[in-house]
Amino acid sequence: MSKILVIAEHDGAHLNQATARAVTCARQIPSGHVTVAVLAADPSAVAAEAAALAGVDAVVTVAHAANGQALAAVLAPQIVALAAGYTHVLAASTAFGKDLLPRVAALLGVPQISDAMAVEGAYKFKRPTYAGNAIVTLEAPSDRTLVATVRSASFEPAAAGGSASISAAAIAVDLPAHTRFVSLSASPKSDRPDLASASKVVSGGRALASKENFQLIYGLAAKMGAAVGASRAAVDAGYASNELQVGQTGKIIAPDLYVAVGISGAIQHLTGIKDAKTIVAINKDPEAPIFEVADFGLVADLFVAVPEIEKALG
């Protein structure tokens, strides 16, 4: 039997949906028993959410004041101690997972599989390479712990309906003192959906021409109840902040609806949206590459089209 430990990503109060997607991946591993590990200062609320996910067999918590902030250097040795007896350690391929799991793999002395997008067997996975233009199959040794990050866009989130048991783990490890939390600088809290997990996303590109014009994207997104994204060109030009970047070097997303406004469709951007269910493109250039992948395309001046769409939405 495969004993799988999924590391929960959370904000201290709520579970990140990316973890629910990692659980879906874990359930596809043959003969798997799935345990979600919640490390926090007070893990009770997050543990309850994890236990309610369908497919989770157990939840284990580690309560420690040092876990109040998700520092990879602090969490990694605790996860290594927890991982004793487990065949797999998984986490979502988010900024959190990409920071944490390489440390876990290094401490365990094993290689890591990154961006697992399909399960082929207990130790065999598929992952994208060359900006998603090629898919490779990797097989890890079965005689050691497999550490892998899960490409969230490739898996649906596990549904609610579970009732897993919750237990507290007592682990004794020396936590590193060379890394410590000093302060957190974050963007102002927004009522908009989270870009990484939103079902609808509206993104703007370089064609917006200025930070002021990019407000058109925020307006349309507000009307649609959608998250806001941006191409790398728009971010590099200063029209939008870094956390909104979608693409190979930004966020990889899989919304039900993706609206690309003034985005030409460079391969690096398309890599980030290839798993979107429906893609709508608005661009005045009929030869723009984005139209090759769009389900619906509108050849129009975005400065005319977007206000008209907003008006039609009421």
Instruction: Residue 18: name the closest of 191, 310, 231, 253 by CA.
Output: 253
Residue 81: how many other CB atoms lie within 10 Å: 14
Is the Cβ–Cβ distance between 103 and 109 less than 8 Å? no
DSSP letters for 64-89: -GGGGS--HHHHHHHHHHHTTT-SEE
Q: Return the higher-pLDDT residue of 123 and 130.
A: 123
CB-based contacts of 311: which residues, under 8 Å, 6+ apart?
Answer: none
Walk me through the domains of the chain, giving residue ranges and CATH numbers: 2-168 (3.40.50.620), 200-313 (3.40.50.1220)
The reported pLDDT for the residue numbered 179 is 84
- Largest Cα separation within the chain, whole Å, is 62
How far apart CA 249 and CA 245 sit, in angstroms, is 8
Indicate the average pLDDT of the chain: 94
Closest-CA residue to 148 (of 296, 2, 303): 2
Q: Who's near 4: CB < 8 A, 6+ residues apart? A: 26, 29, 32, 33, 34, 35, 86, 87, 88, 89, 90
Is pLDDT of 191 > 80? no
Residue ranges of the alpha helices (H) in 186-238? 215-224, 232-236
Per-residue pLDDT tens digits for 49-74 = 999 999 999 999 999 999 999 999 99
Q: Would you say 167 and 60 are in contact if contact means Cβ atoms under 8 Å apart? A: yes
User: 231-265: per-residue pLDDT in tens?
Assistant: 999 999 999 999 999 998 899 999 999 999 999 99
